[in-house]
Amino acid sequence: MSLKHLSLKQWIGLDNRSEEYAYSRSDSTGYTSARKIPDRWVRTTCGYCSVGCGIEIGVKEGRAVASRADALHPVNRGKLCPKGLSEHYTIDAENRARYPLLRKNGKLARAGWDEAIETMVERFRAVQTRYGHDALGVLSTGQLVTEEFYALGKLVQVGFGTNNYDGNTTLCMASAVSGYKASFGSDGPPGAYEDIEKADVILLIGANIADNHPILCQYLDSNPRRTLIVADPRVSKTAMMADLHLPLKPRSDLALLNGIAHILIRHGLIDREYIRDHTSGFDELEKFLDGYPPERVSAITGLSEELLYKTALLYGRAKAAFIGWTMGVNHSTLGTQTVNAICNLALLTGQIGRAGASPFSITGQCNAMGTREAGCTSSLPGYRRFDDPCDRAELAALWNIDEARLPNARGLAYPDIVEGAVGGKIRALWIIATNPLVSFPNQDVLRQALSNLDFLVVQDGYHPTPTTELADLVLPAAIWGEKEGTYTNSERRVSKVNRAVAPPGEARPDFDIFLAVAEKLGCREELYPGWQTPEDAFNEWRRVSRGRLCDYSGISYGLLESEGAVQWPFPEGSSAQATSRLYEDGQFRTADGRARLICADWQPFPEQPDRAYPFVLNTGRTVEHWHTRTKTREVPILERLSPNAWLEMNPRDAKGLKLRSHDRVDVVSRRGKVRGVELRLTEIVAPGQVFMPFHYVEANANEVTQSAFDPVSREPNYKQCAVRIERSGETP
Ligand code: SF4
């Protein structure tokens, strides 16, 4: 605490705050600060990452004062990572949004909820009347509960009648979605965390789970028989755990995968029976892979042919092989194709639908899966396709609406909504629980887009954030710990989320805000018949998902509370204990039931280094922080551990530039500059590459990243752009 916060009594020593520093005994933690011993514990699910750990919030006199692991939760088995252990601090943060704020005379001023919702609906309707329904764009998140995603999808697509709706999930795992759809006919990670314990070979590609999904490491630890292969250009903490690290050149993973498939086919290490019975496209793929002999793949990846053979033989001879990936794969213009190449490997070897065998996308946010399944962004709810007449008719009947009110194609994806605003096609925008003024690539384009809008609504649990500061209307939302619903994690496990404390000021759960907007629009009863609580939405979602791959029909709030988290598909009558895998019967969600083997050709990444910009910048995360740091900068222990951004550079490159460790440097690309970043010299990054975390608005890596996107998923190519490094203050 700074001196300016001390009262007069504290200054002169009459108040030594003894009650604040008193200690006592807690049943669960032993001798501890009396302030942190709760009156009660509330079971819920962690609100950060998609691992989906069970957590308990300690509540004392109406405030969240502690967090601890839920010892009975099947995912984390009594453990939490640093973010989970300190998560209660996010609730009491100073920068919580407490009241609706409406811009009047250029300034945000407090408004009542009625005025806020009325203004929002009037302004959105005015824009739609003048420019057409699709002039309204909506950008949501992976942070809401499933019930909110389901309600929001109906509100946007049917209530407002705009199809230009997407989430920040497109910035992290859209390529996994589009890759799964192309290979298997549907989204949905096929495996389970348990597979990490049951596999004898685990290949992690672009997945630094030690920093980003730490609790998954305990599944590695409990599998002493496994061989861990990590493909990553950087010697990440996860690479340090590997039996075999593949330090491949940036964005050469697709060539590596094709090279492994080439060797497997040439050496007869494929499952011809599985290929014959369950796939299509083998002949074309075999011919295509002739173009990926080890000598070419070695030249592309920088890995020796010996290392390629070693990797291929380990994978090909495994009884059960698991491939996990995250943003290293997805954050690319080749993301969808790289996912297809991962699925190819699993299909060629029959490494899918069995214990330990899965091509497994490790998702990002706590409920990215919920929006994929129940939302209305890249699919209709229940993984229904926009362009499938049967899917549309079925959903229209379930919603009791005319089918013509459902869009027959996907609307603009996130980057295209931003481009649409730049070009004047999108005139009003509703941003929910995301902070693009840190997270979107090439910030200059985004600033242009937002400045072009007629009306910007930002709904968030925090204010100010760089994005709420630009809003015409800020809607204060309840956050994790203050509302009820469900999250679904990366292994399709549905877990209950519970309210422990009341939201601050007049903040409301997003669910209540959606209902209030629908009321003002005059469609509440049509969209949400008889709904009062999130459970009403969940029960409708159970009916809508019945018979689909993501079948929730047998899951109820009562079951989740009594039995704990369960995996979908969970049709009525399922057993709560079963670990489920998709595609155990080899039947895929394509028209003929066969998975597709897809020819996915490698290409160099779009912006290659040159004399003016000689380094390849890689961006990523650190264990202490979460995304745009809106929450974790408010958690003292996390912020103190990692208060500033840094740039990692190989010592050989630093020598050439006459730079030393801890020098302040500027990172410069064709699009912008990040100033005054602390330099860290380390062999973790190879010469010619630099790495920077993307959490920090004060040193925002996205000032220099580029507007390059996967053509199918529209996910940004965050991972490679060309930069030069200069000592701060040296440039004109
Ligand atoms: S691993 Fe993820 S879900 Fe588990 S405690 Fe950490 S942030 Fe939360």
How many other β-carbons are positioned within 10 Å of the β-carbon of residue 682? 16
Q: Which residue has the higher pLDDT, 413 or 36?
A: 413
Tell me the sheet residues that pair with 604: none
Average pLDDT over residues 285-308: 98
Collect all residues with Cβ–Cβ distance below 8 Å to 657 and sequence separation of at least 6: 725, 727
Of the residues 79, 215, 632, 695, which should be mutated to test ligand 1's pocket, given the most ligand atoms within 8 Å of the CB?
Answer: 215
Q: What are phi and psi of 664, to 5 degrees?
A: -95, 130
- Pocket of ligand 1, candidates 57, 81, 212, 491: which has the most ligand atoms within 8 Å of its Cβ, to mutate? 81
275 alpha carbon to ligand 1 midpoint, in Å? 37
Mean pLDDT of 398-418: 96
**Ligand 1 atom at shortest distance from the alpha carbon of 84:** 5
The answer to whether 392 touches 408, Cβ cutoff 8 Å, is yes
Ligand 1 centroid, distance to 126 Cα (angstroms): 43
pLDDT in tens, 169-210: 999 999 999 999 999 999 999 999 999 999 999 999 999 999
Closest CA to 403 of 415, 416, 412, 394: 394
76: CA distance to ligand 1 center in Å? Answer: 8
CB-based pocket (< 6 A), ligand 1:
46, 48-49, 51-53, 76, 80-81, 83-84, 213-215
User: CA-CA distance, 590 to 290, in Å (whole number)?
Assistant: 27
**Which of 44, 45, 50, 51 is the pocket-test mutation for ligand 1 (most atoms within 8 Å of CB)?**
51
User: Per-residue pLDDT averaged across 351-357, rounded?
Assistant: 97
Half-sphere exposure of 408 (CA within 13 A, CB side): 7
Crossing angle of helices 253-266 and 294-301, in 10° steps, is 160
Cβ-based burial of 529 (10 A; exposed 0-12, middle 13-18, buried ≥19): exposed
Q: Closest ligand 1 atom, CA of 85?
A: 5
Rounded to whole angstroms, the Cα distance separating 358 from 189 reads 8
In Å, what is the CA distance from 238 to each residue of 128, 230, 322?
Answer: 49, 7, 16
Q: Which burial class, exposed, middle or buried, applies to 26 when counting CB atoms under 10 A from its CB (0-12, 13-18, 19+)?
A: middle
pLDDT on residue 216: 97
Give the Cα separation of 716 and 94 in Å (integer).
Answer: 32
Q: Residue 502 CB: number of other CB atoms within 10 A?
A: 11
Distance of CA 400 from the midpoint of ligand 1 (Å): 39
Nearest to 485 by CA among 149, 74, 239, 60: 149
User: What is d(CA 613, CA 89) in angstroms, rounded to the nearest whole number?
Assistant: 41
pLDDT tens track for 121-151:
999 999 999 999 999 999 999 999 999 999 9
User: Does the CA dihedral 453-697-53-505 come out positive or negative?
Assistant: negative
Amino acid at 20: E
What's the gap between Cα 522 and its chain centre? 33
Looking at the CA of residue 48, tell me the nearest atom of ligand 1: 7
Report the percent of the chain where pLDDT is more than 70: 99
Q: How far is the CA of 143 from the centre of ligand 1 (A)?
A: 13
Q: Under a CB-based contact definition with an 8 Å cutoff, are residues 614 and 688 in contact?
A: yes
Query: What string of DSSP letters covers 632-680?
Result: GGGSHHHHHHS-S-EEEE-HHHHHHHT--TT-EEEEE-SS-EEEEEEEE
Residue-by-residue DSSP string for 42-64: EEEE-SSBTT--EEEEEEETTEE
| Ligand 1 center to 57 CA (angstroms) | 14
Residue in the structure block whose two tokens are 């964005």: 251
| Residue whose C-alpha is closest to residue 49's, from 157, 211, 159 | 211
What pLDDT is attached to residue 557?
98
Give the pLDDT score at 5: 67
Query: Which atom of ligand 1 lies nearest, measured to the CA of 52?
Result: 3
Q: Which two tokens stand for residue 7?
A: 């009262």
How many angstroms is it from 366 CA to the middle of ligand 1?
Answer: 8
Q: Taking 80 as the threshold, does the pLDDT of residue 336 lie above it?
A: yes
**Ligand 1: which of 77, 83, 632 to mutate, most ligand atoms within 8 Å of CB?**
83
CA of 550 relative to ligand 1 center, distance in Å = 23
Report the mean per-residue pLDDT for the chain: 95
**From the alpha carbon of 489, which atom of ligand 1 is closest?**
3
Atom 6 of ligand 1: nearest residue by CA position: 81
| Residue among 53, 55, 88 whose CB has most ligand 1 atoms within 8 A, to mutate | 53
| Interval 42-93: pLDDT, tens | 999 999 999 999 999 999 999 999 999 999 999 999 999 999 999 999 999 9
By C-alpha distance, which of 720, 645, 721, 724 is closest to 327?
720
Q: How confident is the model at residue 14 (pLDDT cuts 50, 70, 90)?
A: confident
Which residue owns the Cα nearest ligand 1 atom 4? Answer: 53
Confidence of residue 11 (pLDDT cuts 50, 70, 90): confident
3-state secondary structure of 200: coil
* Alpha carbon distance 76, 45 (integer Å): 10
Residue nearest to atom 5 of ligand 1 (CA): 84
CB 135 within 8 A of CB 128: yes
- The crossing angle, in degrees rounded to 10, of helices 414-423 and 443-451 is 50
Q: What would the pLDDT profile of 548-597 be if each residue is shown by its tens digit? A: 999 999 999 999 999 999 999 999 988 877 778 999 999 999 999 999 99
Give the model's pLDDT for residue 732.
44
* Of residues 567, 544, 444, 403, the one with CA closest to residue 495: 567
Give CA–CA dist 727/624, Å, rounded: 27
What is the position in ligand 1's atom list of the atom closest to the CA of 366? 3
CA distances from 171 to 211, 498, 713 (A): 19, 27, 10
Q: How far is CA 418 from the centre of its chain?
A: 19
Nearest Cα to Cα of residue 362 among 153, 209, 166: 209
Residues 6+ away with beta carbon under 8 Å from 469: 108
The residue nearest atom 2 of ligand 1, judged by CA position, is 49
Amino acid at 342: I
Residue 91 buriedness (CB in 10 A; 0-12 / 13-18 / 19+):
buried
User: What is the whole-number distance in angstroms between the Cα of residue 383 and the centre of ligand 1?
Assistant: 26
Q: Which atom of ligand 1 is nearest to the CA of 215?
A: 1
- pLDDT single digits (tens) 650-666: 999 999 999 999 999 99
Give the span between the Cα atoms of 517 and 521, in whole angstroms.
6
Distance 485 CA to ligand 1 centre (A): 18
CA 83 – ligand 1 centroid, Å: 7
Rounded Cα distance, 11 and 688, in Å: 54
- Shortest-distance atom of ligand 1 to CA 69: 5
3-class SS of residue 23: strand
With the CA atoms of 506, 509, 514 and 516 taken in that order, what torsion angle do they form, in degrees rounded to the nearest 10?
-40
Instruction: Return the residue matching tokens 């709560």.
Output: 576
Q: Which three-class secondary structure state does DSSP give residue 573?
A: coil
Q: Is the pLDDT score of 604 beyond 60?
A: yes
* Coil, strand or helix at 539: helix
28 CA → ligand 1 middle, Å? 20
Are the CB atoms for 77 and 218 separated by under 8 Å?
Answer: yes
| Tens-digit pLDDT profile for residues 683-696 | 999 999 999 999 99
Determine the Cα–Cα distance for residues 73 and 79; give it in Å rounded to an integer. Answer: 10
The number of the ligand 1 atom at minimal distance from the alpha carbon of 47 is 8
Distance in Å, CA 222 to ligand 1 centroid: 18
Mutate to test the pocket of ligand 1, among 196, 212, 213 (most ligand atoms within 8 A of CB): 213
Contacts of 187 (CB under 8 A, 6+ apart): 176, 177, 180, 181, 372, 373, 379, 383
Gap from CA of 541 to ligand 1 centroid (Å) = 26
Q: What are phi and psi of 372, to 5 degrees?
A: -60, -40
Contact 115, 103 (CB under 8 A): no
SS3 65: strand
Name the percent of the chain lying above pLDDT 90: 92
Neighbours of 126 (CB within 10 A): 14
